Structure 1
Amino acid sequence: MEEKKVPVDKQAQKKPGKQVVQLSEQDLELKNRLEQYAEEIIQNNTESLEKLKTEVRSATTSMTSVPKPFKFLKESYGKLVEFYNGLETSKFKKQLADFLSVLAMTYGGDGDSLLYLQEGTQEEFKFWGHEYLSHLAANIGSEFQIRLQKVDGADDLLYLVDQIVPYFMDHNSEHDAIDLLSEVDQLQKIEQYVNHANIQRILVYLLSLVPFCSDQDELDVLLATAFNICLKVNEYTNALKIALRIDKPGKVEQVFQACQDETIKKQLAFQLARHRYQIGEEIINDETLKKIAANQYLSQFYINLAKDLEVLEPKTPDQVYKAHLEEKNKEANFEQIQKNLAATYCNGFVNAGFKKDALMSNKENPWLNSVKNDHTAIAAVASIGLVNLWNIDNGTEQISEYFDLSDIFTKAGACIGFGLFCSGIVDENQPAQAMLLAQLESPEVQVKIGAVMGLGLAYAGSARTELQEQLISLIVEADSVELASMAALSLGLIFVGKCNDEVANAIVQTMMERQESQLDISISRYLAVGLGLLYLGQAEAADIVIESLALIPHKINKYAKVTLTSLAYASTGNVLKIQELLGYCSDVTSDDKGTKIDKNYELQQVAILGIALIASSEDVGSEMVYRIFQHILQFSDVEVKRAIPLAVALINISNPKIQPMDLLLKLAHDRDQELSYRATLSMGLLGAGTNNSRIADKLRGLAVYFMNDSNGLFLVRIAQGLLHMGKGLLTLQPYYSDKFLMNKVAIAGIISFLHGCLDIKNLILEKHHTLLYYLGIAMYPRMFFTLNENLENLPVQVRVGQAVDAVGQAGKPKRITGFQTHTSPVIVSAGERAELANDEYMPVQDMILENFVILKKNPDYKPEIEQPQRKKTSFSM
């Protein structure tokens, strides 16, 4: 039997050194036919051009691999181009240009497809399919940028864009349409293509672009477009989320005025309460909505969650320490005063928000009698505020008796505690204002400081102008720099992110006029922190104030400049500002002979904290900054390294990842005592509110390690209290809604505490340990409640798992993985996401389910039919 001969490509045979390509009879026939058409085209045969187009178009139905006609026309492409260049302008030339535009996608240079298309008829290019149009879109983007630099017109490009975008939108390729419109600065045009069917895919993709915006103008356009499309299709909950991110007057009110559905308005009110945004009474006139927006339901649901999880009973510090697992006699050098102080803070953190605790609620053996030191008494009474977090009625009842005592330190503690439990709750009677303003008249400086701190805690983020004048007078006129500094911090908290020029001018003025000896005191740094908080997240708005700081003769001007820069660009991921702050870290000051002289290490530490703050909202940026910190640990002076633990804790707060945990444990055993202290406290911040067993085990080991160091052991106890904060129901994480939104009050509280940790020996370990209570305004339950339209708990099946990035994927991809199914309410950890297990109910809030979500019955729901169980067959021996 004769063997069948396989056809061989003869042209490939002629080329020496090239592997012979064996083609099937069908492929060889196609190749010869295509080459024949190409030869006929060169002979000016119009019909052959149409035949060649038909052959290529029929082969491009699938783009999983390069279509055969594109492979076989490789030799003919150059001839066709040469022939085209020699033609005079005619309809045939334009038709050939259309076809060469398609071939150029494979064989042409950069921009050739666009060039030929512009010279062609531009009539049929949409019929060549998605791959060709995507290639064309890339060419248009590149050409637009070139013309932008040359200041040339781009009307011809915009005409093509208007043709391509509808194709993308009709073929479920919304992300390609958005990319193309972004490249040519026409993103607003996406609004005309949005409808109820594609809003979710468009919105998810738009919001995922936010971290990649190159400047503020681009970000503003992106957010404004997303806001407008949400309002267009009545996506009010998402519109409100974007309005809170835009942070411009009138946007939030616009959403409320546009929404007419009372149930959705309740959901919007819950969103405002989570963000601590106070809206005018003229916008919300319904009593229920007012209570929701005022956060008055928060304590009630938090207690219900604790009952549901059976963790309502108070926990003692010894239960947290698990001292029976540690070596005996280790506390021989732990002073009783410091031991009681650590127990006070641990008790406050662990029982935060539960209305009762194991120490201060014990009337038979009052804990205050065990506290001998004056400043320890402040902490003890203030802890009542932490225990009664968000519960004004119960807190007022428990703490009012301490205002009647003659002891100034218990009064000061009562002021701080009063501010704590009023924090974040809006009450028409304003009990904190009435009580604390009266204490400002006290002749005792310590009581005044307590009242000032209490006002800052109670009204953080409220922008209450009636407090402004009295606190400004304390900044300018107070003899005590401590009182002036805490007044500046309180004003920074009250007007956080509001760019209040009057307050800013008062703080800058007092830094200019104060004596150098006063500004040398460590607590004076809070003048700079208070100034920075006024411009939190406001970017360029702080530039004028930054320039004015150069007029301050004291070195605090540099501290204030770095603090203001880092807070103004907080969570923006601005690479240029990170580089600017890195410049401070690498400063080397030397004399004429090249010998290093004293550096401003404090300034470098603030810069490191600022780098973490700017990058903290974005995962990729946080990872890159973490690598930078590794380099600083390797090559910098030990004084600079001391800020690294605090920065690592800031970018991973309440998110106990393995790598940061191991790094902090290593630094906690460092020979440098200051570095060791900060790393120990940072471990508590890393695991704050998570009950992480690994960190708990490491902290017990550190308690043994610091058995002969009372300060170190004190910080271990504080870290243990933070780790078990709220018995595992609270978090300090200031970012939520997949890190799209930042709670400015939470960031302000954390930063206020971390700046105190930059001089941990003179502040936290001395009489200013009450700075720990600024963490109280950053606390929030990490719970997920499902409610019915009457705001009653509605238990449903909920899946909780690791969040998965499904942006731009086809269909309805899974957005969580490794999930577990629970019945709501549930606890959601950092990096996790919740979703409903079935379609029986529909959430009013569509995209991200968190905090409080109101559900409606799904009218189209059909319960799954249970399969009949098979009859079990028993086998007997």
Structure 2
Amino acid sequence: MAVADDKPTEAAAAKNGKQQKKKEQEKEAELSEEDQQLKANIELMVERISDPEPGVQVLALQSMIHEIRTANATMTSVPKPLKFLSPHVDALKLRCEQLPAGSESRCLLADIISVLCTTVGAKEGVRDALKFRLQGSKGALEVWGHEYMRHLAGEIADEYRLRQDQGGDVSDLMLLVNQIVPYHMTHNAEPEAVDLLLEVDRLDLLPQWADEKNYARTCLYLVSCCHYLPEPDDMTVLEVAHIIYSKMSKHHDAMRVALHINKRDVVEATFAACTDLLEKKQLCYLLAQHGYRLDLEEGTAAVEDETQREVLREIISNSKLSEHYLALARDLDVMEAKVPEDVYKTHLAEGRQPTAATVDSARQNLAASFVNGFVNAGFGQDKLVTVAGEGGDSIHWIFKNKDHGKTSATASLGLITLWDVEGGLPQIDKYLYATDNYVVSGALLAIGIVNCGVQNENDPAFALIYDYVSHEDVTVAELLVPLVADADVSMEVVGVTALALGLVFTSSCKEDIVMAMLQVAKTLNERISQFAQVTLDGCAYAGTGNVLKVQQLLAMCGEHLEAGEEGSAWKAMHQPAAVLCLALIAMAEPVGAQMAGRTLEHLLQYGDPGVRKGVPLALAMLHVSSPDTGAMDTLSRLSHDADSDVAQAAILGLGILGAGTNNARLAGLLRNLASYYYKEPGCLFLVRLAQGLVHMGKGLISISPYHTDRQLLSGMALSGVLAVLWSGLDIKTQLGGKHHYLLYCLATAMHPRMLMTLDEEGRMLAVSCRVGQAVDTVAQAGKPKTITGFQTHNTPVLMSAGERAELGTDKYLPLSPILEGLVILKKNPEYVEE
């Protein structure tokens, strides 16, 4: 029976063998006469390699190499000589081992086998291409072409890691690396050169091969890499990019990277290395936009020429920001002051309408004060608070508010006169002498707001404010730090004082201030300490995309407490902070932001109530002043959530999402929400705030902490946004209670979303420019387009989220490679008028 069963099997095998032989014959028959001749020659050469005469071996090998190098093949096909050699690969390997070590025949054959191994599938972990290259000649790699170099680089990376783990010698590998990298750098494959040097931990070698032709693509790839690398490699790539930019005298690019590195000595050295006054001016515009204060009188960055120093100080202090902002407003014809009803547009609201005053008037007036301040921010005039208002009675309006409401109403004056220190302080001054302490505190807050982002050598804000706290000549830190540690001061004052210190010393790493705050945090309840620790970790890794930190935060968000457990909400208070920190860390680049967005959807479905409360605010964090359609739809859905905390957080999130954009769809959603919540004072108040945020500065202002083509994260701007979002974790007590004035922290993040071009004297210069959606060109071949769907305008122009600008004329050359904010243009000496 067994024999009978074997017969069909043998028959099938014989049949398969015949079919295979037939296929090979047919395939051979398909070869052209020329290919058949080549195949015969290759087989003859393989046979001659086994000849005992060394001269014959060498001649056969040289002929084989000539055939391989001169073969014509497309990018997607294997050269025919290699294809015909493939069946002989095992025999060639065996023959190579038999040849005398160091002989010319063995070197040539090893080179051929190394190339051949790139086209023959190998088992995982087998690196024959590298093995035989090391046995053969270690030079002239470039003659074998780009694909061979790429394959060899991959095997070098694997071998390097293995040897490093075993403590082996890697000098022979570095000989090959030192040939491959220059080849890539001169053949438009800079990303592959960077990748290889990263794999072998020798990125420091890269600057020696950077030149005028390849530095731009190299540095663009390096800077883009930093978000995807672990510590400390993320800083290493930035430092190398800074070295290359400095070597090529690209001072603006070098400064941008130096600000990313965030080391004062690097920033100062970069500024000092620039000797051209016009370029220094452009660097000062960048520093001013970033909120970075440079000492021009002492230290590395000091400017000896007094005239130049005054010119640069004026730029870096942002003293003309108000002037430029109003010039933009006049150009766009939006100078006319608006009232809250121009924002609410209740006549357009659909659905239920209030037939009577269902919200207490004090809360309505408080909302109107905020909306009035936001919509007229920076314009210097309005119709409710400023004296210049048409028929307005500012004192009367302020006293239409109650208690803390008077503080916020008075402080809105600082928002209206934002950046205009000389024009704003006289209007605020009269409120400092009021008998009502709420009005006085509002005036003091207004003084701080009007000075946001603007430096004045006389520092009038500090001169006016410190008198109300201390009568000694002290600095801000000496004024506030003792309050943090004072046991006799209420926790409310301690908290606001700590926030003030954080806003003043953002990104400065002041050790004494940090230690004072940590000491207080350690004495608090364990749960509050945990909340503070999560927040601290999130801020420390803001915008880094650190995967390990994200995983830790997700683990915290995934913790479940029993619903009936005593104090479960109190114990889980760190969870909403963890959700916010997750977005804070992941917001640096688009891929991370998208993945965080998907994660937040899962947290909505499976998270505890505390976790769900943080999701709307986290979504807003990912899309500050960038009304992404998906995020908008999610927040709109959550604004009707059964959980009032989630709904209110979503309403605030909608305001942050569209802040300063005038987004029509978002404005419509908020009008509908106002109708939906007309019987709920708390929610309606937040809807009004969100409406004011969306129409901030009549659509000319952004609060996005990212600038310069989203390459830089301003710590100053981020701190203001974080203060508001963190207060949103307890909206009913904070923004919805008596701490609504915390909303003014957004003033630190507010900046005009514009492109304005200036001539060499600093005067506004109107030129043609193209504005369109930015296209990611990292590692793309050739000279790809950097924008798509563009429109042509004359400067100044508004820049929306995700947009990029290009100059539309060759008459001028920009001193900044990124057209955003204030850009100086100089005449192109090679321009010929048509």
Q: 1:853 aligns with which of 823, 826, 829?
A: 823
- Give the conservation status (yes or no) of the 8 Å contact 1:194–1:229: yes
- Give the conservation status (yes or no) of the 8 Å contact 1:601–1:639: yes
- Give the conservation status (yes or no) of the 8 Å contact 1:654–1:830: yes
Distance 1:716 1:149 in 2: 59
Query: What amino acid is the match of 1:300?
Result: E
Distance 1:183 1:346, change over 3 A: same
Tell me the equivalent position of 1:572.
544
Q: 1:160 aligns with which of 176, 193, 215?
A: 176
Matches within 5 A, 1:363-402: 364-370=391-397, 371-402=400-431
Tell me the equivalent position of 1:610.
581
**303-312 vs 829-838, greater mean Cα deviation:** 829-838
Distance 1:193 1:610, change over 3 A: same
- Give the conservation status (yes or no) of the 8 Å contact 2:365–2:401: no
Q: Tell me the percent identity.
A: 41
Tell me the equivalent position of 1:360.
385
Determine whether 1:474 maps to 2:480: no
Distance 1:639 1:185 in 2: 44
Tell me the equivalent position of 1:46.
58
Distance 1:289 1:276 in 2: 15
Tell me the equivalent position of 1:721.
692
Matches within 5 A, 1:684-703: 684-703=655-674
SS at match of 1:644: helix
- What's the CA shift for 1:553? 4.8
- What's the CA shift for 1:300? 0.6
Distance 1:401 1:595, change over 3 A: closer
Distance 2:522 2:549 in 1: 26
Query: What amino acid is the match of 1:268?
Result: L
- Give the conservation status (yes or no) of the 8 Å contact 2:470–2:479: no
**310-319 vs 197-206, greater mean Cα deviation:** 197-206
Distance 2:34 2:18 in 1: 17
Determine whether 1:15 maps to 2:27: no
Tell me the equivalent position of 1:502.
512
- Give the conservation status (yes or no) of the 8 Å contact 1:223–1:246: yes
Q: Which runs of 5+ in 2 are unaligned?
A: 1-16
- What's the CA shift for 1:855? 1.1
- What's the CA shift for 1:635? 1.2
- What's the CA shift for 1:367? 4.2
Distance 1:440 1:595, change over 3 A: closer
Q: 1:69 aligns with which of 51, 74, 81?
A: 81
- What's the CA shift for 1:505? 2.7
Determine whether 1:222 maps to 2:230: no
Distance 1:124 1:509, change over 3 A: closer
**23-32 vs 685-694, greater mean Cα deviation:** 23-32
Distance 1:336 1:18, change over 3 A: farther
Q: Which runs of 5+ in 1 are unaligned?
A: 1-10, 443-463, 514-551, 865-877
Query: What amino acid is the match of 1:72?
Result: F
Matches within 5 A, 1:426-505: 426-441=455-470, 466-477=475-486, 478-505=488-515
Superposed CA RMSD in Å reads 2.1
Tell me the equivalent position of 2:437.
408
Distance 2:692 2:565 in 1: 48
Tell me the equivalent position of 1:586.
558
- What's the CA shift for 1:365? 3.5
- Give the conservation status (yes or no) of the 8 Å contact 1:590–1:596: no
SS at match of 1:809: coil
**24-33 vs 786-795, greater mean Cα deviation:** 24-33
- Give the conservation status (yes or no) of the 8 Å contact 1:331–1:707: no
Q: Deviations over 1:96-135 (max 9, x none)?
A: 1011111011115342111100001223332111111111
Q: 1:641 aligns with which of 612, 630, 634?
A: 612
SS at match of 1:209: helix
Distance 1:30 1:376 in 2: 91
SS at match of 1:333: coil
- What's the CA shift for 1:504? 2.4
Distance 2:19 2:68 in 1: 25
Query: What amino acid is the match of 1:257?
Result: A
SS at match of 1:764: helix
Q: 2:192 aligns with which of 170, 176, 189?
A: 176
Determine whether 1:120 maps to 2:151: no
Determine whether 1:105 maps to 2:118: yes
- Give the conservation status (yes or no) of the 8 Å contact 1:331–1:708: no
- What's the CA shift for 1:441? 4.8
Distance 1:487 1:123, change over 3 A: closer
Distance 1:510 1:120 in 2: 67
Determine whether 1:803 maps to 2:826: no
- What's the CA shift for 1:598? 5.6
Tell me the equivalent position of 1:311.
334
Matches within 5 A, 1:612-761: 612-761=583-732
Query: What amino acid is the match of 1:424?
Result: G
Distance 1:440 1:596 in 2: 38
Distance 1:287 1:481 in 2: 43
Distance 1:646 1:767 in 2: 20
Q: Which runs of 4+ in 1 moved over 4 A?
A: 11-14, 16-19, 593-599
Distance 1:742 1:103 in 2: 49
Query: What amino acid is the match of 1:315?
Result: K
Count residues in correspondence: 792
Determine whether 1:278 maps to 2:303: no
Q: Deviations over 1:548-597 (max 9, x none)?
A: xxxx5542111111111111111111111111111211223459x99996
- Give the conservation status (yes or no) of the 8 Å contact 2:353–2:675: no
Distance 2:78 2:44 in 1: 21
Distance 2:85 2:18 in 1: 13
Q: Deviations over 1:153-186 (max 9, x none)?
A: 2111111111222222222322222222222111
- What's the CA shift for 1:490? 0.8
- What's the CA shift for 1:854? 0.9
Tell me the equivalent position of 1:329.
354
**196-205 vs 306-315, greater mean Cα deviation:** 196-205
SS at match of 1:105: coil
Determine whether 1:787 maps to 2:786: no
- What's the CA shift for 1:663? 0.4
Matches within 5 A, 1:242-261: 242-261=257-276
Q: Deviations over 1:746-796 (max 9, x none)?
A: 111111111111110111111110011011111111101111111111111
Distance 2:609 2:580 in 1: 16
**330-339 vs 768-777, greater mean Cα deviation:** 330-339
**334-343 vs 301-310, greater mean Cα deviation:** 334-343
**829-838 vs 411-420, greater mean Cα deviation:** 829-838
SS at match of 2:97: helix
**244-253 vs 392-401, greater mean Cα deviation:** 244-253
Tell me the equivalent position of 1:542.
none
- Give the conservation status (yes or no) of the 8 Å contact 1:678–1:757: yes
Distance 2:744 2:448 in 1: 10
- What's the CA shift for 1:623? 0.8
- Give the conservation status (yes or no) of the 8 Å contact 1:330–1:704: no
Distance 1:13 1:789 in 2: 81
SS at match of 2:422: helix
Distance 2:572 2:383 in 1: 42
- What's the CA shift for 1:657? 0.9
Distance 2:778 2:142 in 1: 26
Q: Deviations over 1:20-65 (max 9, x none)?
A: 3222222222222222222222335321111111111111564342
- What's the CA shift for 1:82? 2.2
SS at match of 2:573: helix
- Give the conservation status (yes or no) of the 8 Å contact 1:34–1:69: yes
Distance 2:252 2:651 in 1: 41
Tell me the equivalent position of 1:26.
34
